[in-house]
């Protein structure tokens, strides 16, 4: 999963573009629910939020490094829940 760092300027651009609705406005800045972020696997070739973020503040969460296979499994689980 990806994580939004405190460099976020709350520009609101990424939130509506997330195919998994993983991005939400937290107490101070936007945040990503790691259980919903597939790094856009299953939807797009590239993480949409990373493509759009004007300040490049969305790296991979070092606490939640996942393989492409794990991300695909998460995608499939989310599809079943939808
Ligand atoms: Fe959403 Fe994709 Fe960004 Fe993850 S990488 S938060 S799934 S837009
Ligand atoms: Fe924050 Fe980047 Fe999302 Fe804008 S696009 S709200 S700066 S994480």
pLDDT of 82 reads: 76
ipTM rounded to 2 decimals: 0.98
d(CA 11, CA 45): 23
Atom of ligand 2 nearest to the CA of 56: 2
pLDDT digits (tens, 9 = 90+) for 23-43: 999 999 999 999 999 999 999
H or E segment to which residue 77 belongs: helix 68-81
In contact, 57 and 8? CB cutoff 8 Å: yes
In order of their start, the domains of the chain are 15-81 (3.30.70.20)
pLDDT surpassing 80 at residue 55: yes
Q: Which residue from 22, 24, 11 is spatially nearest to 78, judged by alpha carbons?
A: 22
Residue identifier of the C-alpha nearest atom 2 of ligand 1: 40
**Percent of the chain scoring above 90 in pLDDT:** 98
Radius of gyration of the chain (CA): 12
pLDDT of 62 reads: 98
pLDDT of 9 reads: 98
pLDDT of 68 reads: 98
In contact, 52 and 9? CB cutoff 8 Å: no
């Amino acid at each position: 999963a990806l994580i939004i760092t405190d460099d976020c300027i709350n520009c609101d651009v990424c939130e509506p573009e997330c195919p998994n609705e993983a991005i939400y406005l937290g107490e101070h800045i936007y945040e990503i629910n790691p259980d919903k972020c597939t790094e856009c696997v299953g939807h797009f070739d590239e993480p949409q939020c990373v493509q759009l973020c004007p300040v490049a503040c969305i790296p991979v969460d070092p606490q939640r490094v996942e393989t492409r296979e794990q991300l695909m499994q998460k995608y499939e689980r989310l599809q079943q829940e939808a």
